[in-house]
Structure 1
Amino acid sequence: MDYLLALAADPAAWIALATLIAMEVVLGIDNLIFISILTNRLPEADRSRGRRIGIGLALILRLGLLGTVAFIVQLTEPVFSLFGHGFSWRDLILIAGGLFLVWKATKEIHHSVDPDPGPDMFGGKAGTITFASAIGQILVLDLVFSVDSIITAVGMTDHIPIMVIAVLVAVTVMLVAADPLANFINKNPTIVMLALGFLMMIGMTLIAEGMGAHVPKGYIYAAMAFSALVEGLNMLARRARERGGKSAH
């Protein structure tokens, strides 16, 4: 109790908390975009439930990993070297997650371009997705993003309560934003393609990070924000043309 009171009275702890919350929310955007796109492929009645379960799993994984901080720190220690570069378990997780994200984004882009490609190799309808499959894929990416999130948190503060509060706030923001974001993406087909492009870029960034090439997150999110701004202007222009066409008739 004395430790918590001392922490609450420390201005540096509040600064660390605010910084970490902002960082966790930004990292959660990647996770949320993937969850939104994937659950939009489910039947409409299952979408909101799928998002809640996916975000709930992200919370459980993050809090569970916080309970094993000593183990998480060891994930950054090199386990083998290749071409003069030491690879840690974190690197391997990021590379595997990045490859999965690039594969998934490519597959979803193909589905968006050709939404009815006919039966798949097993005789079922290609492009469909089951609830269990969606949750399984979300769980895989939740694990990757959670490991990255907790390692980032460990690098910013030594105080577990600050990490827990930051994770809880970030996941709460994800829960609040999940349905509005997913509905917005679903109603605007061009936004779907833009979001898939973001996922592919995030996947390549994860691979680069795993290979030891640090890519400043600010550049990535600045590019995403600029692309979203341009697409927003395109949407406004399309609506203006539609209103102009209706008034002409």
Structure 2
Amino acid sequence: MESSLALLQDPAAWAALATLVAMEIVLGIDNLIFISILTNKLPLEMREKARKIGISLALLMRLGLLATIAIIVKLTEPVFTILGQGLSWRDIILLAGGAFLVWKATREIHHHVTADEEGESNGTGKVVHSFSAAIGQILLLDLVFSIDSIITAVGMTEHVQIMFVAVIAAVMAMLFAATPLANFINRNPTIVMLALAFLMMIGMTLIAEGLGHHVPKGYIYTAMAFSAAVEGLNMLARQRRQARRARGEAP
């Protein structure tokens, strides 16, 4: 109790909390994009429920991992060596999660390119996945992103209280942003392809991290922000062309 009161009076603790919340929200974008794309494949009445369950599982998983933080810290210690490269449990999890993301993004891109030719759609251009399969895939990626998130938190502060507050705040932000983001992606088909490309890039980054090659997150998110800005300009141009056509003007 006394240690918590001391943290409340420490400006450095508040600065660490603000920084960690911002970092956790940024790291949560990857998870949120995946959840949005996956739940948009479900029937309309199931999507909101799946998003809430997926994000709630992410929160429970991260809080559970924080409760076993001594074990999480040890996950970075090499357990065996392959071709001179030491691999820890964290590396193995990142490799598996990255490979899954690359496979999933590639499969979804293939579907979006060939769905009309193969007749795989349900009339809306989307494959209907089972609710349990969607939750299972969300849970798998939640585990990967949660471990990465907690290890990042451990590297930024030694106070478990700050980690708990930051994780809860970040996941709450994800919960509020999930439906608007999913609806935005659903309304703009070109955004789906861009988001899938982001997931593939994130998957490759996780694989690189798992192999011991650190990729600065700033480069990744700057590239994502630049691509999103370009796509935003394309969307604005399309809207203006459509508006001119509606008025009977030349494009």
| TM-score, structure 2 normalization | 0.95
Please list the CA deviations of residues 113-157 of structure 1 after superposition, one character each: whole Å capped at 9, or x if unmatched: 1225357xxxxxx94310000000000000000000001101111
Could you tell me which amino acid in structure 2 is paired with residue 42 of structure 1?
L
Residue 102 of structure 2 corresponds to: 102
Could you tell me which amino acid in structure 1 is paired with residue 209 of structure 2?
E
Residue 196 of structure 1 corresponds to: 196
Instruction: Say whether 1:173 aligns with 2:182.
Output: no
Instruction: Say whether 1:131 aligns with 2:135.
Output: no
- 4+ aligned runs moved over 4 Å, structure 1: none
Residue 157 of structure 2 corresponds to: 157
Q: For structure 1, which segment, 79-88 or 199-208, has the greater mean C-alpha deviation from structure 2 after superposition?
A: 79-88
Q: For structure 1, which segment, 80-89 or 161-170, has the greater mean C-alpha deviation from structure 2 after superposition?
A: 80-89
Residue 145 of structure 2 corresponds to: 145
Q: SS where residue 38 of structure 1 aligns?
A: helix
Could you tell me which amino acid in structure 2 is paired with residue 152 of structure 1?
T
Q: SS where residue 81 of structure 2 aligns?
A: strand
Residue 122 of structure 1 corresponds to: none
The CA distance in 2 between the partners of 1:141 and 1:215, in whole Å, is 19
Q: Check conservation: 2:57, 2:139, Cα contact below 8 A.
A: yes
Q: CA deviation at 1:158?
A: 1.0
Q: SS where residue 76 of structure 1 aligns?
A: coil
What root-mean-square deviation, in Å, do the aligned CA atoms of Structure 1 and Structure 2 show? 1.2
Residue 237 of structure 2 corresponds to: 237
Identity of aligned residues (%): 70
Q: CA deviation at 1:7?
A: 0.9
Equivalence map 1:1-249=2 (5 Å): 1-116=1-116, 117-118=118-119, 127-248=127-248
Q: SS where residue 115 of structure 2 aligns?
A: coil
Q: CA deviation at 1:112?
A: 1.2
Q: For structure 1, which segment, 3-12 or 29-38, has the greater mean C-alpha deviation from structure 2 after superposition?
A: 3-12
Could you tell me which amino acid in structure 2 is paired with residue 213 of structure 1?
H
Could you tell me which amino acid in structure 2 is paired with residue 55 of structure 1?
I
Unaligned runs of 5+ in 2: 121-125
Please list the CA deviations of residues 155-206 of structure 1 after superposition, one character each: whole Å capped at 9, or x if unmatched: 1111111000000100010011000000000000000000000000000000
The CA distance in 2 between the partners of 1:12 and 1:71, in whole Å, is 27
Q: SS where residue 215 of structure 2 aligns?
A: coil
Q: SS where residue 224 of structure 1 aligns?
A: helix
The CA distance in 1 between the partners of 2:189 and 2:119, in whole Å, is 21
Unaligned runs of 5+ in 1: 120-125
Please list the CA deviations of residues 204-241 of structure 1 after superposition, one character each: whole Å capped at 9, or x if unmatched: 00000000110000000000000000000000000111
Aligned residues: 243
Q: Check conservation: 2:43, 2:128, Cα contact below 8 A.
A: no
Could you tell me which amino acid in structure 2 is paired with residue 66 of structure 1?
L
Could you tell me which amino acid in structure 2 is paired with residue 56 of structure 1?
S
Residue 123 of structure 2 corresponds to: none
